[in-house]
Amino acid sequence: MKVAVLGAQTTKFGELWNNSPRALLKEAVSGALEESGLKISDMDAIFVGNMLSGILGGQEHLGALVSEELGVSIPSFKIEGACASGGLAMHQAVLSIISSYYEKVLVVGIEKMTDHKPEETTSALMGAGSDEERAAGATFPSLYALIARAHMEKYGTTEEQMAAVAVKNHYHASLNGKAQFTFPITIEQVLNSPCIAAPLKLLDCSPVSDGAAAVILSAESFALRNKKQNVKPVWITASQVATDSLGLAQRESLTSLKAVVSSSQKAYQQAGIKAKDIHVAEVHDCFSIAEIIAMEDLGFYHKGQAAKNIFMQKTRLGEKLVINTSGGLKASGHPVGATGVKQVVEITHQLQGKAGKKQVKGANIGLTHNVGGSGATAVIHILRNI
């Protein structure tokens, strides 16, 4: 399979008081269209990733809102899968192209979270889990805290090792003009930050953010007919989704996300590669422990080995495999529906050599890993420029 990425752009992520959702999506979309050299009227369909527009903003029917704002009447769909909404929107867009139903499509991930009080957002995010978890007052951080505790018990993972994930991602974000947080942090600062749900502290957790990201995709044939000069074409060569139980109590394991294991294995097979072929990856670090477990589930490290390698900075810019050059969710920000699309934007720019100060030299193959809830949905994309 080869689906072309013709354009990719994100807005800045952060507390964007002055920017309405409509303004954010326009900014991301016009940026992506400009990169692609196409106009909105060239698009055959729009795929929108978003989780909270209804429960927080009272606005459902986002597909129609986006097409209206962009001034078109083409097919437009909102796709939701909690924090994997953006990745799922990418997947649906890919399906529409490889089925030849559409030729050129727009994918936009958008989320506006900072208009509301933290308690409202915390409560809304619990929609990603199960009813049993909501009745227990198990906030989203507490679910990953339960996972962290189990991983610490089973593999001896330490709070310092988890903190190292946040430190690395803040360092990368300091090189990313679009990131929410561009200041570096230390392990000490992470350990001393207030406890949210033991053992996860404030700096182990990704923030609440606003932002939008957009990607233009096309069929291989269209891309080959319309090659742009001086632009390395980027191809999506795998797009896989897997699901697991909504709630932690129904999972087989607390220390591994089965949906990530199975979707990534299928993705490597689909792309004809192995885990060790990946040069650069955007991994879903909603919480520091999530990146550690992801590195194991994606096959980059054996179970129980990822934490110490991350602590030894083996996945930092300059190393053989670089993780989360955007700053990840922790430092770049996590506007829920936008994240899965932003991950594709980051990898696309890496593969085009357009990543600026955070460029991974000679990156040819990249991976994005987008997870919904505590692991109920996993979406993997593999991209290459050769």
List active site positions. Answer: 83, 334
Strand partners, 365: 384
In the complex, the smallest distance separating the C-beta of residue 191 from another protein, rounded to whole angstroms, is: 15
122 lines the binding site for another protein (CB under 8 A): yes
Query: Between residues 198 and 312, which has the closer beta carbon with respect to another protein?
Result: 198
Distance, CA of 297 to CA of 14 (rounded, Å): 29
Distance, CA of 192 to CA of 210 (rounded, Å): 26
Answer whether 62's CB lies under 8 Å from 53's CB. yes
Answer whether 364's CB lies under 8 Å from 233's CB. no
249 lines the binding site for another protein (CB under 8 A): yes
Query: Between residues 55 and 64, which has the closer beta carbon with respect to another protein?
Result: 55
Distance, CA of 92 to CA of 33 (rounded, Å): 19
Instruction: Kindly state the number of chain residues that form the binding site for another protein, as judged by CB under 8 A.
Output: 35
One of 60, 131, 188, 319 touching another protein (CB under 8 A) = 131
> Which amino acid, residue 304?
G
Q: Which tokens is 62 given?
A: 């986002």
Strand partners, 280: 322, 366
Site string for another protein, 297-336 (x = CB under 8 A): ----------------------------------------
Query: Between residues 35 and 133, which has the closer beta carbon with respect to another protein?
Result: 133
In the complex, the smallest distance separating the C-beta of residue 280 from another protein, rounded to whole angstroms, is: 32
Site string for another protein, 255-294 (x = CB under 8 A): ----------------------------------------
Query: Between residues 123 and 313, which has the closer beta carbon with respect to another protein?
Result: 123
Distance, CA of 347 to CA of 336 (rounded, Å): 18
Query: Between residues 251 and 384, which has the closer beta carbon with respect to another protein?
Result: 251
Distances (CA, A) of 291 to 201, 212, 342, 369: 15, 22, 17, 10
In the complex, the smallest distance separating the C-beta of residue 287 from another protein, rounded to whole angstroms, is: 11
Q: At CA 15, angle to CA 14 and CA 17, rounded to 5?
A: 135
One of 37, 39, 195, 228 touching another protein (CB under 8 A) = 195
Q: Which tokens is 69 given?
A: 């704002």
The DSSP-derived string for 166-187 is HHHHHHHHTT-TT-S--S---H
Using left for φ > 0, alpha for ψ between -120 and 50, and beta otherwise, residue 40 falls in: alpha
Site string for another protein, 136-155 (x = CB under 8 A): xxxx-xx--xxx-xx--x--
Site string for another protein, 47-86 (x = CB under 8 A): ----------------------------------------
In the complex, the smallest distance separating the C-beta of residue 372 from another protein, rounded to whole angstroms, is: 18
Neighbours of 116 (CB within 10 A): 17
Query: Between residues 237 and 253, which has the closer beta carbon with respect to another protein?
Result: 253
Tokens 């083409």 correspond to 74
The helix (run of H) or strand (run of E) holding residue 37 is none
In the complex, the smallest distance separating the C-beta of residue 336 from another protein, rounded to whole angstroms, is: 16
Distance, CA of 83 to CA of 221 (rounded, Å): 32
Chain residues that interact with another protein, rule: CB under 8 A: 118-120, 122-123, 126, 130-133, 135-139, 141-142, 145-147, 149-150, 153, 194-200, 247-250, 254
